[in-house]
């Protein structure tokens, strides 16, 4: 990953803007091209994209606002590209005010019988969805989309978020021929500008715009800069990755200093010690940790005074899980406060986990809040504190020199494990008396699924027996959630019976469904049609009849970002099948043992026919939660070889009159 840091103070160059912001008229010749060299498999392509952001006075808002003007023209190339005619523009709340949009203009152009027909977007086709208390979504779909359609979109977004100005993503899910971004920043503001990602700018033009803003009677000059990037490849997403925003080529702005109208400089980029102090004195963060009186007497009956600190922590954690339900809202600050959350039995992430921290400290168990940025929110800035990077808080519980990471918002999580949304590089642990520090966000528990089958293959080609599936770690959490989505075990059984078309489930029993401290165990009596009717001298079947790896999760020619699977993983199959009398192996997959360098991953397969019984063991072990991009092709090749290996069936000779 590449970063370029720039400090915007005053730009002395007076180069003129190299390109007009106006789009040329759509011509019939624009429809002629069917394939673009930048990506011959693209389903849609951006022909041109322009953004312009400035800080100016808003008379209606009676304050300085960020005005962001966006304009684009793109082409739909296939039916799969129709989705790129759907637009969602998020609007965020800052303080008491939401961002808002004005002047949306959108048109679809089609070439019909040699003539260009235009279809504008109508106001009735604009929809505003209230996603949460802090987010609204402006949604619309361009009309009359066909293969070859050209789309134009233009709008202005007005935001009170002067601190972060406006980010610009050069790279998205489809390729772009041209993208440029122009910013006009008053000289009273100094921003840290970060160019992130692997792609280079094709050009940068800058000048000083005189008297661009009049503030309190003072005329202020602006830095006027345009960033250009051409022939931008699409960003290809793949399994086991963090948020794309961590890797795509983009430019970000963060306010560092502001010159005050009455003199002096206000600094926004702070030291962690400043952030620590602000957090611990904030009534919705550190102020909540002082409310230890709320827990006097609560745990007298639920927590055994003679228990170990670890067992006490688990009991308190479980009590919080059961008594405050998460309202599906993130936050590093409490939404209601822990007192009201306890009364209402409902709250946001901070309500729940700051309650956990306070309750643990009340009971004499050392605990601290840890700021987290969730996976979809992006990796937090490690160069200097950016408090807005964090959108979540968990608990760090220190017991005998070991810190356990805990999130009580999910009733399916055992103590000491985090949901996948929190496994995102590192968090910042906020101590009460010393400086905060970074802490890795990891799950030490290996996620594993073990399949064990013991059965009999009869002469009809049907395999009957007992399948036992054992889940632990995050695999157990995910499976519990999957089962509990259904109204009953019977409904779950019916659903998986329909899904597993080659497996008939005769009976199912589930162990430890509601005890998240134990392994989850599924016991299934099954019938599987694995082979053709056994007539004559031979038959074939594959003993890995469930969860056989058949698709490689790694398919890119090049991946510039690491593989993050959330935790170490194990998967194993132990198969025992008694064959019809007179069976012998004619051909079978070779026993194999594949190991990556440094033993970071291993795959093994072994089969043996002994005394009329086929024994098969298979295991895949991923010894790392995160693999670097330079290990990508090794992982890709490993899965490719596994898939090829598992395509081979066992082939048997069968002598009907043989006796044992």
What pLDDT sits at residue 412?
A: 96
Whole-number Å distance between alpha carbons of 172 and 175: 7
Longest dimension (CA), the chain: 106
> Is the pLDDT at 111 greater than 60, yes or no?
yes
What pLDDT sits at residue 423?
A: 96
Whole-number Å distance between alpha carbons of 185 and 53: 8
Cβ-Cβ contacts under 8 Å for 647 (sequence gap 6 or more): none
The size of the chain, in residues, is: 660
- For the record, the structure tokens of 586 come out as 């004619």
- For the record, the structure tokens of 156 come out as 């202005």
Each residue of 18-73: pLDDT tens digit? 334 577 899 999 999 999 999 999 999 999 999 999 998 888 888 889 999 999 99
- Calculate the dihedral angle through the C-alpha atoms of 592, 598, 600, 606, rounding to the nearest 10 degrees: 10
Once rounded to an integer, what is the mean pLDDT over residues 146-163? 94
pLDDT band at 659 (very low <50, low <70, confident <90, very high): very low
> Is the pLDDT at 301 greater than 90, yes or no?
no
> Is the pLDDT at 438 greater than 90, yes or no?
yes
pLDDT band at 131 (very low <50, low <70, confident <90, very high): confident
> Is the pLDDT at 337 greater than 60, yes or no?
yes
Residue boundaries of the structural domains of the chain: 10-26+34-188+198-236, 272-440, 447-654
What pLDDT sits at residue 1?
A: 40
Instruction: Write 654-659 long-range contacts (CB < 8 A, 24+).
Output: 654/534, 654/536, 654/537, 654/538, 654/539, 654/580, 654/582, 654/583, 654/584, 655/537, 655/582, 655/584, 656/582, 657/582, 658/581, 658/582, 659/581, 659/582
What is the percentage of the chain residues whose pLDDT exceeds 90? 70
Once rounded to an integer, what is the mean pLDDT over residues 322-331? 95
Each residue of 546-560: pLDDT tens digit? 999 999 999 999 898
CATH topology of domain 272-440: C8orf32 fold (3.10.620)
pLDDT band at 660 (very low <50, low <70, confident <90, very high): very low
**CATH code reported for the domain at 447-654:** 2.60.120.1130
Q: What is the mean pLDDT of the chain?
A: 90
What pLDDT sits at residue 539?
A: 84
> Is the pLDDT at 183 greater than 70, yes or no?
yes
Three-state DSSP state, 128: strand
Each residue of 575-629: pLDDT tens digit? 999 998 888 888 899 999 999 999 999 999 999 999 999 999 999 999 999 999 9
Each residue of 197-241: pLDDT tens digit? 889 999 999 999 998 888 777 888 999 999 999 999 999 999 999
**CATH code reported for the domain at 10-26+34-188+198-236:** 2.60.40.3140
pLDDT band at 346 (very low <50, low <70, confident <90, very high): very high
């Amino acid at each position: 990953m590449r970063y370029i840091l720039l400090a915007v103070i005053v730009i002395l160059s007076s180069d003129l803007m190299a390109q007009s912001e106006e789009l040329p008229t759509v011509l019939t010749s624009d429809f002629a091209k069917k394939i673009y060299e930048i990506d011959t498999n693209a389903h849609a392509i951006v022909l041109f994209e322009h953004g312009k952001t400035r800080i100016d006075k808003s008379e209606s808002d009676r304050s300085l606002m960020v005005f962001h003007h966006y304009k684009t023209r793109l082409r739909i190339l296939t039916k799969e590209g129709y989705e790129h005619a759907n637009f969602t523009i998020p609007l965020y709340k800052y303080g008491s005010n939401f961002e808002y949009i004005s002047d949306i203009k959108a048109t679809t152009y089609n070439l019909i019988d040699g003539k260009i027909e235009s279809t504008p977007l109508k106001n009735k086709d604009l929809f505003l969805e209230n996603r949460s208390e802090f987010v609204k979504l402006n949604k619309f779909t361009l009309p009359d989309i066909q293969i070859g359609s050209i789309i134009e979109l233009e709008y202005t977004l007005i935001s009170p978020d002067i601190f972060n100005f406006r980010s610009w993503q050069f790279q998205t899910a489809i390729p772009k021929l041209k993208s440029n971004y122009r910013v006009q920043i008053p000289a009273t503001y100094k921003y840290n500008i970060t160019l992130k990602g692997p792609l280079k700018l094709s050009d940068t033009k800058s000048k000083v715009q005189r008297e661009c803003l009049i503030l309190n009677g003072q005329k202020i000059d602006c830095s006027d800069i345009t960033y250009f990037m051409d022939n931008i490849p699409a960003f290809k997403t793949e399994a086991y990755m963090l948020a794309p925003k961590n890797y795509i080529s983009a430019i970000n702005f963060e306010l560092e200093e502001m010159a005050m109208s009455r003199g002096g400089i206000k600094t926004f980029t702070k030291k962690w010690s400043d952030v620590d102090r602000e957090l611990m004195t904030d009534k919705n963060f550190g102020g909540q940790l002082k409310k230890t009186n709320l827990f006097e007497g609560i745990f007298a009956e639920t927590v055994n005074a003679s228990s170990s600190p670890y067992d006490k922590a688990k009991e308190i954690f479980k009590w919080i899980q059961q008594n405050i339900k998460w309202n599906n809202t993130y936050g590093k600050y409490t939404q209601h406060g822990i007192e009201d959350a306890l009364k209402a039995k409902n709250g946001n992430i901070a309500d729940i986990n700051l309650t956990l921290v306070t309750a643990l400290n009340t009971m004499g168990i050392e605990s601290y809040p840890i700021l987290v940025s969730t996976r979809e929110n992006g990796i937090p800035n490690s160069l200097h504190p950016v408090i807005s990077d964090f959108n979540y808080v968990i608990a760090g519980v220190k017991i005998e020199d070991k810190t356990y990471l805990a999130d009580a918002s999910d009733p399916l999580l055992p103590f000491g494990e985090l949901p996948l949304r929190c496994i995102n590089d590192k968090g910042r642990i906020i101590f009460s008396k010393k400086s905060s520090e970074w802490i890795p966000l990891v799950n030490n528990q290996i996620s594993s699924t073990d399949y064990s089958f013991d059965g009999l293959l009869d002469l009809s080609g049907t395999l009957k027996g007992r399948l036992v599936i054992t889940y632990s770690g995050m695999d157990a959490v995910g499976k519990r959630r999957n089962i509990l989505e259904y109204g009953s075990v019977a409904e779950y059984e019916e659903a998986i019976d329909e899904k597993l078309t080659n497996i008939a489930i005769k009976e199912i029993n589930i162990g430890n469904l509601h005890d998240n401290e134990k392994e989850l165990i599924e016991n299934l009596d099954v019938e599987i049609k694995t082979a053709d009717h056994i007539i004559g001298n031979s038959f074939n079947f594959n003993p890995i009849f469930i969860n056989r790896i058949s698709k490689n999760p790694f398919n890119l020619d090049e991946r510039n970002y690491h593989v993050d699977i959330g935790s170490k993983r194990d998967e194993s199959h132990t198969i025992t099948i008694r064959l019809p009398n007179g069976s012998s192996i004619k051909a079978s997959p070779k026993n194999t043992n594949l190991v990556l360098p440094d033993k970071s991953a291993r795959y093994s397969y072994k089969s043996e026919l002994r005394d009329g019984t086929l024994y098969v063991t298979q295991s895949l072990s991923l010894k790392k939660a995160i693999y670097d991009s330079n290990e990508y092709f090794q992982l890709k090749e490993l899965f490719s070889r596994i898939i090829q290996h598992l395509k081979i069936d066992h082939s048997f000779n069968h002598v009907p009159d043989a006796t044992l």
